[in-house]
Amino acid sequence: MASVLIEGNESVLLNRLNAGLASDKTVCAFGRTAFTSPLYRKGKDMNPSFQNSCLSSNSSDDFKHLVYPSAYILIFVLGLVGHSLSICVFFSQWRTQKSFTPVSVLMVNLLVSDLMLVSSLPLRVSYYMLNSDWIFGHATCQVISYVFYLNMYSSVYFLVALNILRYLALVRPYLYIRIQTHYVAGIVCALIWLFMGLACSPLLFTQNKTHEGRFRCLELAEDNVDQLLLINNITFPVGFVFPLVVVIFCSVLVAKHLLMPSPALGRTRPCRKKACALVIISLGLFLVCFLPYHIVRTIFLTTEKDFQTHGYTTHSCDFILLVRKAAVIAHCLCTANSCLDPVLFFFVGENSRSFFSRWTGGRKNSTYTAGRNPQQEELQVLQK
């Protein structure tokens, strides 16, 4: 799978359409079956000027060249500021405690994943500002596509791990204490990186083409749509549906537990509302960033395949352009997860709030106290 899954344009398809209109010998081969191009058959019954006008005057390329640079610059600035503050918080925690809690280990790995994507955004901005001309070499193009999907799916599973930890701390505290070690958190993070790294590795072997004297990157390869659809049908349930079900399950049980009266815990109602807000924020980040992307990506690939196979017999030109523009917006929302995660960092533990309290002149409120059990400290933070 490549980042071309959602960032494709219509220029290559237009060339195929023109080629189909130019000759009645155009043949398309899919798998082992060869047949006369449906684009040609449809083109015989349509005005070629209408088709060209539909794909060029209302081109989604102009929309991409406007939206992508603006969105990437905004995400880069917000991500750089947010993650710089997050680094200061984690460094302060390390300097005070000389160690990280399991939750902090997960958040640090999420931070590293986000920084990988944020640091690649200037290259994406330059590509679209240079009118879709990639000047950084073929290898860099492959790495950029790899980093995007590595960030997205590793972030999804780090969020899943954080939700599971919060569920265990609140609903199964004794089980949480037994399994709460730095080694367990490190193993979980290593498995996530290994699994996602291997799953995204085919991106490092993708081929890109030159079009009109420009090296194209981050574009839809029209001859790989069938393969991309197959990959999407695998990644959709494994990379999105299953994690979403786990996050919803944990969030519902945590919310149910927090709303139940628990006088023995001595927790006041405002504290319960605050913990419920944390559940809503983490679930909201998941739904806003990843849900639109996976749904629109599936529709986008299906529409592109239908267009290649049947031309305008299945979908109108306006619908195709609408889907392509929706794909651009969905891709920007997905990329925004790299600058929204610091919001999660701030609300997960007390270290962030106490750090900002010191800088703003508020009272110091460190979650770590000498002589106390670090596991109990971490459990207390997760239960607030």
Domain residue ranges of the chain, discontinuous segments joined by +: 3-8+64-383
Give the residue with greater pLDDT, 81 vs 174.
81
Give the residue with greater pLDDT, 45 vs 216.
216
pTM: 0.79
Poorest-confidence range of 162-171, 190-199, 261-270, 276-285? 261-270
Contacts of 156 (CB under 8 A, 6+ apart): 239, 240, 243, 286, 290
Name which of 238, 237, 344, 353 is nearest 286 in CA terms.
344
Give the residue with greater pLDDT, 61 vs 213.
61
Burial of 124 (C-beta count, 10 Å sphere; 0-12/13-18/19+)? buried
CATH number corresponding to 3-8+64-383 = 1.20.1070.10
Banded model confidence at residue 340, pLDDT cuts 50, 70, 90: confident
- The string of pLDDT tens digits covering residues 249-295 is 988 888 888 777 655 545 444 455 556 766 777 788 888 999 999 99
Quote the pLDDT of residue 187.
Answer: 92
- The string of pLDDT tens digits covering residues 85-130 is 888 888 877 777 766 778 888 888 999 999 999 999 999 999 999 9
Poorest-confidence range of 50-64, 126-140, 148-162? 50-64
Q: How far is the C-alpha of 288 from the C-alpha of 299, rounded, in Å?
A: 17
Banded model confidence at residue 384, pLDDT cuts 50, 70, 90: low
Banded model confidence at residue 12, pLDDT cuts 50, 70, 90: very low
- The string of pLDDT tens digits covering residues 326-339 is 999 999 999 999 99
Residue 72 has pLDDT above 90, yes or no: yes
C-alpha neighbours within 13 Å on the C-beta side of residue 110: 29
Poorest-confidence range of 131-145, 277-291, 321-335, 339-353? 339-353
Q: Is 196 helix (H, G, I), strand (E, B) or coil?
A: helix
